[in-house]
Amino acid sequence: MRIQAQRSLLLVVDIQSALLPAIDGGESVLAHTAWLLDVAQAMGIPALATEHCPGRIGVTDERLRQRFTPEAIVDKEHFSAVSEGALLQAPNAERKQWIVAGMETHVCVLQTVLDLLATGREVFVVDEAVGSRRPRDKELALQRMQQNGATIVSREMVAFEWLERANTPLFRDILKRFIR
């Protein structure tokens, strides 16, 4: 199945300031997620973020947090962002295709993805925009998500599927600002 802009939502799971330094390639995960958020914003695709126990772990890294409105950030205590119910009540959560970035891949991302799949959502996990403390944990989590029905994608797959076609003003804008 292809990703369709009008059916998509970008979900950023727990990219929080206190955890980021412990993540293998954390700054790269942050940069790829920021890129996805900027492309989504340029195309009018909604985005949500989750924060796991922000009182202890800190809030979403400020380089990302500024891209979200307060109502687009969901606090949680469960590892799965779906468990407590607030995520699926957030703005635009009725969308069927969820593009997922975040950390840790084998904990909060994995459990959230499995629960989103259980609700009938189509879930696409962006490989370079997820991270764990240990690379093997990320690798195993991506395999498990795929075995359960998630599709593993790259950030450019997402952008080009959102665009659908070339030779439009939007295509030229995205190409100039984000691809080249």
The residue ranges of every structural domain in the chain are: 5-179
pLDDT confidence of residue 111:
98
pLDDT digits (tens, 9 = 90+) for 143-173: 999 999 999 999 999 999 999 999 999 899 9
Sheet holding 122-131, edge to edge: 73-76, 47-52, 8-13, 97-103, 122-131, 151-153
What mean pLDDT do residues 27-47 have?
97
pLDDT tens for 95-120 read: 999 999 999 999 999 999 999 999 99
Dihedrals phi, psi of 93, to nearest 5 degrees = -70, -10
3-state SS record for the chain: CCCCHHHEEEEEECCECCCHHHCCCHHHHHHHHHHHHHHHHHHCCCEEEEEECHHHHCCECHHHHCCCCHHHEEEECCCCCCCCCCHHHCCCCCCCEEEEEEECHHHHHHHHHHHHHHCCCEEEEEEEEEECCCHHHHHHHHHHHHHCCCEEECHHHHHHHHHCCCCCHHHHHHHHHHHC
**Does this model's pTM top 0.85?**
yes
Percent of the chain having pLDDT more than 70?
100
Residue 48, pLDDT above cutoff 90: yes
pLDDT tops 80 at residue 11: yes
What is residue 180's predicted lDDT score, i.e. its pLDDT?
76
**Topology of 5-179 in CATH?**
Rossmann fold (3.40.50)
